[in-house]
Chain A
Amino acid sequence: MNMVFIAVTALVILSLVFGAILGFAAVRFRVEGNPIAEQINALLPQTQCGQCGYPGCKPYAEAIAAGDKINKCPPGGEATIQALAELLDVEPEPLDAVEGEKPQMVAFIREAECIGCTKCIQACPVDAILGAAKQMHTVIVSECTGCDLCVEPCPVDCIEMIPVASTLQTWKWEHPLPPGTLIATDRESLS
């Protein structure tokens, strides 16, 4: 009987001491916010375009941290998916967008047709459109992320998306063909 009493007391005291240690550690090492979401957010392109279905890059980063797919960011494209996969230690997936990865676009306002309604200015997530009411608007090319959001609100359809011409600074090799596909001359010689 005495033995049982000693055993129970010893275990209870041991558990109490350990519980106190853990309680102290929980207070001492408390984590504020979600540091993963911050790191994911830093990798996203910050176009705030909303093509992922979330209102901006930060909410999408939080959704990824909570377990959403990493392939919903068309502006980021393949490079962002690779970086996210590396960060989160998951398999990279092909981009989940209707048109696939688009070439880098920039908005262009045909200034002769612009009526100065400021609707595109309100739509622009990155403040890349310059102008005032009843004044002609224009796009700051270096700020534009090519997100398309200004095209829809324009009442006179004077905004068009044009692909950015590659310069000596931005030109890069085209991606190699996927295995199994032939280049055009080879196909011709076969047929």
Chain B
Amino acid sequence: MSELLLIVVSAILVNNFVLVQFLGLCPFMGVSKKVETAIGLSLATTFVLTLASICSYLVQQYILKPFDLEFLRTISFILVIAVVVQFTEMVVNKTSPMLYRVLGIFLPLITTNCIVLGVALLNANRSQYTFIQASVNGFAAGIGFSLVLVLFAAMRERIAIADVPKPFQGAAIGMLTAGLMSLAFMGFSGLIKL
């Protein structure tokens, strides 16, 4: 149990996938202009991450490992992720058409979001992970992503109405803010060793 807790804290704070491992920066910069949109994308990404790490763990353990096919890891994980994203897209389109429209191109782009493939590959690298641990790691990675995305979007909403000097307006101040947030998250390093 404490092992699971450590995995959660590690994925959310200490080794946060966005601000410490620098995975998934495209939606982090792209979908952080409005808090509602950011929450929508966080939910979709968390869902995809959890499902993708479960599926890729199953593929890794029951297909790739027994047949000694671990060199096919990347291509089969990409296949898994593409299917999970397509599935999520259909579900979102059915349940919340507004969110579907707002997310727009960023929903299919979760496929190429490196955080998803990153979590799947990191899970596969740590071969001591059990099924539960791998899925919890995926879920926690999603929570970590959601946390920083929503925090960042809330800050950018305020920055948008702030009096920013001309050279820093737009993406530049966003990058600076992201860098400062990343520095703040570096403060968690050394809290846990995994």
- B75-94 contacts to A (CB < 8 Å): 75-76, 79-80, 83, 86-87, 90-91, 93-94
A14 proximal to B (CB < 8 A): yes
Residue in B64, B80, B83 whose Cβ sees the most chain A Cβ within 10 Å = B83
Interface residues of B (CB under 8 A from A): 34, 37, 59, 63-64, 67-69, 72, 75-76, 79-80, 83, 86-87, 90-91, 93-94, 97-98, 101-102
State the interface size on chain A (CB cutoff 8 A).
21
Q: Is the CB of A21 within 8 A of B83?
A: yes
A133 proximal to B (CB < 8 A): no
**Nearest Cβ on chain B to A66's Cβ, whole angstroms:** 12
Q: Is the CB of A15 within 8 A of B63?
A: no
Contact of B76 among A6, A11, A22, A26 (CB under 8 A): A11
**Docked complex Cα distance between A87 and B75 (Å):** 39
Write out the residue numbers on chain B whose beta carbons fall within 8 Å of the beta carbon of A88.
101
**Docked complex Cα distance between A14 and B59 (Å):** 9
A10 proximal to B (CB < 8 A): yes
Q: Is the CB of B93 within 8 A of A22?
A: no
Write out the residue numbers on chain A whose beta carbons fall within 8 Å of the beta carbon of B75.
11
The stretch of A31-39, A52-60, A171-179 that contacts the partner chain? A31-39
Q: Is the CB of A22 within 8 A of B87?
A: yes
| Nearest residue, chain B, Cβ from A89 | B102
Q: Is the CB of A89 within 8 A of B87?
A: no
**Nearest Cβ on chain B to A61's Cβ, whole angstroms:** 14
**Docked complex Cα distance between A18 and B80 (Å):** 8
**Nearest Cβ on chain B to A9's Cβ, whole angstroms:** 9
Main secondary structure of the interface of B (DSSP, over half): helix
Write out the residue numbers on chain A whose beta carbons fall within 8 Å of the beta carbon of B93.
29, 31
Contact of B97 among A14, A31, A89 (CB under 8 A): A31
Write out the residue numbers on chain A whose beta carbons fall within 8 Å of the beta carbon of B86.
22, 25
Q: Is the CB of A18 within 8 A of B97?
A: no
Main secondary structure of the interface of A (DSSP, over half): helix
Residue in B34, B37, B93, B94 whose Cβ sees the most chain A Cβ within 10 Å = B94
A112 proximal to B (CB < 8 A): no
A190 proximal to B (CB < 8 A): no
**Nearest Cβ on chain B to A32's Cβ, whole angstroms:** 10
Write out the residue numbers on chain B whose beta carbons fall within 8 Å of the beta carbon of A10.
63-64, 67, 69, 72, 76
**Docked complex Cα distance between A25 and B90 (Å):** 7
| Nearest residue, chain A, Cβ from B86 | A22
Contact of A26 among B59, B80, B90, B102 (CB under 8 A): B90
A7 proximal to B (CB < 8 A): yes
Q: Mark A1-30, 1 if CB is under 8 A from B, else 0.
A: 001001100110011001001100110011
**Nearest Cβ on chain B to A20's Cβ, whole angstroms:** 10
Write out the residue numbers on chain B whose beta carbons fall within 8 Å of the beta carbon of A15.
79
Q: Is the CB of B91 within 8 A of A14?
A: no
Contact of B94 among A7, A31, A87 (CB under 8 A): A31
Write out the residue numbers on chain B whose beta carbons fall within 8 Å of the beta carbon of A30.
94
Write out the residue numbers on chain B whose beta carbons fall within 8 Å of the beta carbon of A31.
93-94, 97
Contact flag A29-B90 (CB < 8 Å), given A21-B83, A88-B101: yes
Write out the residue numbers on chain B whose beta carbons fall within 8 Å of the beta carbon of A3.
68
What are 9 A-B residue pairs whose CB atoms fall within 8 Å in the complex? A10-B64, A21-B83, A22-B83, A22-B87, A25-B90, A26-B90, A35-B97, A39-B98, A89-B101
